[in-house]
Structure 1
Amino acid sequence: MIKLNKKIITLAVSVVILLTALTGCASGPAQSSAPQASGSQEANSQDGGASAQKAAERTVVDHAGNTVVIPADINRVVISSIMPLPSVFCLFEGASDKLVGMDPSSMAAAKNSILPKIYPEVLNVSTDFIKDGSLNIEELMKLKPDVVLYSADNTADYEVLSKAGIPAVAFSTSKFKFDTVKTFDNWVSLMGEIFGQQETAKQIASYGYEVKDEITKTIEKAGDSLKRPRALILFRYDNGSIKTSGSNFFGQYWLDTTGAENVAKDLKGMAEINMEQIYQWDPEIIFITNFTPYQPEDLYENSINGFDWSRVKAVQDKKVYKFPLGMYRWFPPASDTPLSIKWLATKNQPELFKDLDMDKEIREYYKKFYSYDLSDEQVEQIFHPSSEASGLKK
């Protein structure tokens, strides 16, 4: 958590306490020893009650366009159907003690990430409210959430939560045109509104833009002579099916921003592909996300039954890379998003960014934003995440 915001947070808490005290004082006249309250006194009492109610609530407009009334004091948070958000929440809060529920997929990533090294209590967060991929309202109610944060694209969650009368705030992955940095910014900004800490949000989000500008300016200076390698992202690869990241998904933004050409740019979203298509593209670089259990070695050793990777240039040249996993998987927006940009730039344009020391960058980022000193083993863990982090089996 950024240390600069501590005074701001302390001031905000003090203001809330002061307002609460003032509200308590305002209710004094209604408890006067006068034998009978006049109509004016009754009106003042009602106004005081309305003011107290208003002070105990906050209103936000979420990414689905819904106006949501939430408690001003939030102590129990459940995050459903938007997998990267627990890491962003912990970054924002500088703690995980308010988080009482998360999706099983988020937990699979957490157990194999650095997240519990910094916030060990996150491993105690419940996942029982998700049954067979769907929200189970009975189990959710047991968690007594003050608010539920969910994916704006998940209308099923919205309907269930609305009927149950649970304050629910939608976070979108698609509203910001899959611009990863902008999406991260808007997630953090919405958290700032929810928790009344807008300045904290600005401090966190601004660094992502700084990094993006730094990388894009370096690439732009190279001019038309810049060679963009043909890159393929294996977004989801399991059970004999391969899905890549087309033009309307985060992969396109990553590759455009960091100096590569997306071989799947003519496809949309999470598009299913086959080996014949991959042979035609013959990518020079392959990136494997942590939503699939496969590792670069599986392609190098050609050990995946029914798939011959030996003919692909990226495999022949040993340029297959597994996305790192720090606080969360680095492919979607998450709390380590600025690091994702830098890492991809070093892989796509190694000559341009030969002076970018990712080992150093990761250590400094974790020190600045999480107040945490990574060990050598933990840095290696980030660069070489386990297959179990996908939550799937090979």
Structure 2
Amino acid sequence: MKKLSKFLCAVLAAAFLLASCSKKDSSKSAPSSKVITDHNGTQVTIPAKVERVVISSLLPLPSVYCLYMGGPKKLVGIHPSSKAAAVNSYLATCYPEIKEIDSSFVKGNAVNIEQLLALKPDLILFNAGNSAEKEIFESTGIPAVGFSTNIAGYNTIETYGKWITLLGEIFGKTEKCDEIIEYGRKINEMVKSRTASIPDEKKPVCLFLYACEESSIKTYGGNMFNQYWIETCGGKNASYELKGSATLNMEQIYKWNPDKIFLTNFTPALPEDLYTNAIGKYDWSNISAIKNRQVYKNPLGMYRWAPPSSDTPLALQWFAKQIQPELFSDIDMDKEIKSYFKKFYGVELTDENIKDIYNPARAASGK
């Protein structure tokens, strides 16, 4: 009996030891954190399992996040401008819960730390170029990952691809990631192959307006996303010699005399406002784009079609059709949009939905 008792004790001790080792091994195989390198080149330690996410100053990122995640899962806070676009876009139709996501942690483009902390995020995603926010987030101790807008030289397709890649590093790479990136590159190659040999005299002069209000008219120079859209699609950027954000006067616009004007969804202005001189005391009547009715309001799908967004491959095709309509006459945008939304968002669009995408509300500007 004594020998049997000793044997049983030994067995139990061995079992306990194995169980303990198993727990240790298990804890080693499932770390509580991991280190990633963001677009600032900063190594950031983030939770291995992220549960509450805030997206701050990179306004288009919520749309790309929803494309990647299949909706606003784990998202507890977004910038007010991102929310204005979301609520007035198809993003809210597809994912109505985004309307309830908090945006009160930003007031007048300034982060309120108390409101931010109240959201209890375990990860913040922000614009890598916003150094002021970076300092604020570092002071809170909450892991913050920077996403860059100029990491690909303002090539919109490659920029959105790099955002998706970084999301994959944070949340886990999926086959869908590669498929989305590859589709964008395929569209980019198709458009470039068609516009590569266009002679200079057949390239229309194009002007993007990011603000067109009574108080100011603004564009971006040749080192921003508008340069990529225009150049890739076979046009000439009127504001090429400018840098960054630039305020314009009508004298400069008369001098450029653009053939085509694109109104982004950062401004509430619509083409009819320019056709009828309805904004301030500006007189647009003698400009070529006005005379020929070549003013276009950028569509609004899951986000504004100007910076990178989850709709970027669609935006590239749409811009190509407006800038070089004959060269891209074979592209049926209604069909392309429906196919893209079904494949990547799992959404069946109606003709009425398409009409809404082409005719965004003024309120989408957030102004």
Q: Secondary structure at the match of 1:55?
A: coil
Letter in 2 for 1:29: L
* Cα separation, 2, equivalents of 1:61 and 1:28: 40
Cα distance in 2 for residues equivalent to 1:136 and 1:260: 42
Gaps of 5+ in 1: 1-26, 33-40
Q: CA deviation at 1:200?
A: 3.3
How far apart in 1 are the matches of 2:137 and 2:160? 24
> Are the aligned partners of 1:97 and 1:121 in contact in 2 as well (CA < 8 Å)?
no
1:317-372 CA distance string (max 9 Å, x none): 00000010000000000000000110001011111111111111111110111010
Is the Cα–Cα contact under 8 Å of residues 213 and 279 in structure 2 kept in the other structure? no
User: Using the alignment, how far apart are the partners of 1:153 and 1:198 within structure 2?
Assistant: 27
Please give the root-mean-square deviation of Cα atoms over the aligned residues, in Å: 1.9
Q: Could you tell me which residue of structure 2 aligns to residue 265 of structure 1?
A: 240
Provide TM-score, normalisation by structure 1.
Answer: 0.86
Aligned residues with identical type, % of pairs? 47
1:269-284 superposed matches below 5 A: 269-284=244-259
- Amino acid paired to 2:235: A
- Corresponding residue number in structure 1 for 2:5: none
Residues in 2 aligned to 1:366 and 1:49: alpha-carbon distance in whole angstroms: 41
Q: Residue 223 of structure 1: CA displacement? A: 4.5
2:182 to 206, 211, 216: 206
Q: Of the candidates 316, 319, 325, which is equivalent to residue 341 of structure 1? A: 316
1:357 aligns with 2:332: yes
SS in 2 for 1:150: strand
Q: Which residue of the other structure, out of 97, 101, 111, is the alignment partner of 1:135? A: 111
Question: 2:138–2:144: 8 Å Cα contact kept in structure 1?
Answer: yes
The CA distance in 1 between the partners of 2:231 and 2:243, in whole Å, is 15
Structure 1: which amino acid aligns with 2:339?
Answer: E
The one-letter code of the counterpart of 1:365 is: Y
Equivalent in the alignment of 1:29: 17
| Alignment pair present for 1:64 and 2:40 | yes
Correspondence 1:281-292 to 2 at 5 A: 281-292=256-267
Question: Is the aligned partner of 1:51 residue 2:28?
Answer: yes
For the structure 1 residues 322 and 223, does the alpha-carbon distance in structure 2 shift closer, same or farther, using more than 3 Å as the test? closer
Q: Secondary structure at the match of 1:341?
A: helix
- Is the Cα contact below 8 Å between 2:39 and 2:151 reproduced in 1? yes
Which runs of structure 2 are paired with 1:25-174 in the superposition (5 Å)? 29=17, 51=28, 55-174=31-150
Give, as a single letter, the amino acid of the residue that structure 2 aligns with 1:316. K
Task: Report the Cα distance in structure 1 between the residues aligned to 2:16 and 2:46, rounded to whole angstroms.
Answer: 27
TM-score, normalised with respect to structure 2? 0.92
Structure 2 CA distance for aligned equivalents of residues 309 and 370 of structure 1: 40
Q: State how far apart, in whole Å, the 1-side matches of 2:325 and 2:19 are.
A: 73
**Distance in structure 1 (CA, Å) of the matches to 2:329 and 2:26:** 63
Q: Residue 353 of structure 2 aligns with which residue?
A: 378
What SS does structure 1 have at the residue aligned with 2:199?
A: helix
Deviation at 1:259, TM superposition (A): 0.7
Within 5 Å, give how 1:230-249 maps onto structure 2.
Answer: 230-249=205-224
Q: Distance in 2 between matches of 1:259 and 1:321?
A: 16
Once the two structures are superposed, what CA deviation does each residue of 1:3-56 show, in whole Å capped at 9, x if it has no partner? xxxxxxxxxxxxxxxxxxxxxxxx963976xxxxxxxx9xx99x759736x622
Distance 1:291 1:141 in 2: 29
Task: Kindly provide the CA deviation profile for residues 285-317 of structure 1, in whole angstroms up to 9, marking residues without a partner as x.
Answer: 000000011000000111112100111110010
TM-superposition CA deviations, 1:136-160 (whole Å, max 9, x none): 1211111111211001011121111
Letter in 2 for 1:118: C
Q: Is the CA contact (8 Å cut-off) linking 1:234 and 1:287 kept in structure 2? A: yes
* Structure 1 residue 58 displacement after superposition: 1.9
Q: 1:319–1:138: structure 2 CA closer, same or farther, 3 Å change rule? A: same
Give the letter for the 1:70 counterpart: I
Cα separation, partners in 2 of 1:225 and 1:151, compared to 1, 3 Å = closer
Q: Distance in 1 between matches of 2:242 and 2:294?
A: 23
Q: Distance in 2 between matches of 1:28 and 1:257?
A: 66
Matched residues in 2 for 1:73 and 1:320: separation?
Answer: 47
Q: Distance in 1 between matches of 2:199 and 2:153?
A: 26
User: For the residues of structure 1 that align with 2:17 and 2:255, how far apart are their CA atoms?
Assistant: 81
Question: Residue 16 of structure 1 aligns with which residue?
Answer: none
Quick check: 1:301 aligned with 2:276? yes
Determine whether 1:255 maps to 2:202: no
CA distances 1:92-147 after superposition (whole Å, capped 9, x unpaired): 00021311100000000011100011111111100011122111121111111121
Deviations 1:50-86 (A, max 9, x none): 736x622121100011101111111211100010000
In 1, Cα distance between the equivalents of 2:167 and 2:342? Answer: 22
Relative to structure 1, the CA distance from residue 104 to residue 223 in structure 2 (aligned partners, 3 Å threshold; closer, same or farther) is closer
Distance 1:193 1:303, change over 3 A: same
| Pick aligned residue for 1:327 from 302, 313, 317 | 302
Q: Tell me: CA distance 1:365–1:278, structure 2 relative to 1, closer, same or farther (3 Å).
A: same
- Verify the 8 A CA contact 1:58 1:70 in the aligned structure 2: yes
